[in-house]
Structure 1
Amino acid sequence: MATSRRVARVSELIKREVSQMLLSGIKDDRVGSGIVSVTDVQVAGDLQHAKIFVSIYGTSEAKAETMAGLKSATGFVRSELGQRIRLRRTPEVIFLEDSSLERGDKVLSLLSRLSQERELADHTDEADEGGAED
């Protein structure tokens, strides 16, 4: 069992290397159909498995294509990681779609809409009160 500090360091290394691969290493055209970024990497305590969370910007078809391309490139990614990061055993790689950015964006838009509605309600209340005094 690796220390939590080592696990964190390995996950940061994997995140950086996979991000580089997404820019220039993976030749699958499906991966380029959406804008892809690595948001997080979770490495198991025994360093045998790595879950790579990716955020994909684009249509749902582009997201599906990109995920299919990433899943087919897992062998390439693992072998590249083995060459770039010196570990006794290269972890198994699993790509997962991270939709937290979309959920956050949705929450922010809902909050701004509520804020606008409150301001509008406050202005109409002030106008009603101002009209009643005259």
Structure 2
Amino acid sequence: MKQNHNSRRVNEIAREKLASILLFEVSDPELSLVTLTGVEVSIDKSVMRAYVSCDRDRYDEVSQALERAKGRIRSLLGHALGWRVTPELIFQIDTTADEAERIAKALQNVPSTLSVEKDEFGYPVIDGEEGQDEQGEGEK
């Protein structure tokens, strides 16, 4: 969604209020160690999509706990924001950190046979030939 200054400000305010509610107002132990990573509020402020992250093995547990607490959270959020309309909450598990970790591990395990030999200028050496000179002809 394209954001302008006003929508960024609305998202930031909503994120701060929701984070405070999750931290101080909701006492469900299943929601401990849950991090609010982002919030997107629709232009008419009727829908708020909240992204939360947690340990990979707790995705289902956290999703169910958020679903159970959604009504209470929405009520508290309505009072905290003071908007004309209290947005409908949609909680989504943010797996970005887990995906980044998975990719980093995969890159660490790349076999050395995939390495590329380079000449003194940093260009790849192809079958014993060095990189291209200025006229596009290979040096030998």
Measured against the shorter chain, the TM-score band is: 0.7 to 0.9
Mapped to 1, the partners of 2:38 and 2:29 lie a distance apart of 23
Higher relative contact order (CA 8 A, sep 6+): 1
Say whether the 8 Å CA contact 1:39–1:53 is kept in structure 2: yes
Moved beyond 6 Å, runs of 4+: none
Q: For residues 14-33 of structure 1, what are the structure 2 equivalents within 5 Å?
A: 14-32=14-32
Q: Secondary structure at the match of 2:54?
A: strand
Q: For residues 1-16 of structure 1, what are the structure 2 equivalents within 5 Å?
A: 4-16=4-16
Question: What TM-score does the superposition give when structure 2 sets the normalisation length?
Answer: 0.71
Q: For residues 21-100 of structure 1, what are the structure 2 equivalents within 5 Å?
A: 21-32=21-32, 35-59=33-57, 62-100=58-96
Which sections of structure 2, spanning at least 5 residues, go unmatched?
117-140
Q: CA deviation at 1:12?
A: 1.1
RMSD: 2.2
Say whether the 8 Å CA contact 2:38–2:51 is kept in structure 1: yes
Which sections of structure 1, spanning at least 5 residues, go unmatched?
123-134
Q: Which has the higher helix share?
A: 1
Letter of the aligned partner of 1:118 in structure 2? S
Q: Which residue of 2 aligns with 1:118?
A: 112
Letter of the aligned partner of 1:45 in structure 2? I
Q: CA deviation at 1:69?
A: 0.8
Q: Secondary structure at the match of 1:73?
A: helix
Measured at CA, do residues 58 and 24 of structure 1 come closer, stay the same or move farther in structure 2, by a change above 3 Å?
farther
Give the aligned length.
Answer: 114
Identity %: 26
Question: What TM-score does the superposition give when structure 1 sets the normalisation length?
Answer: 0.74
Q: Which residue of 2 aligns with 1:105?
A: 101
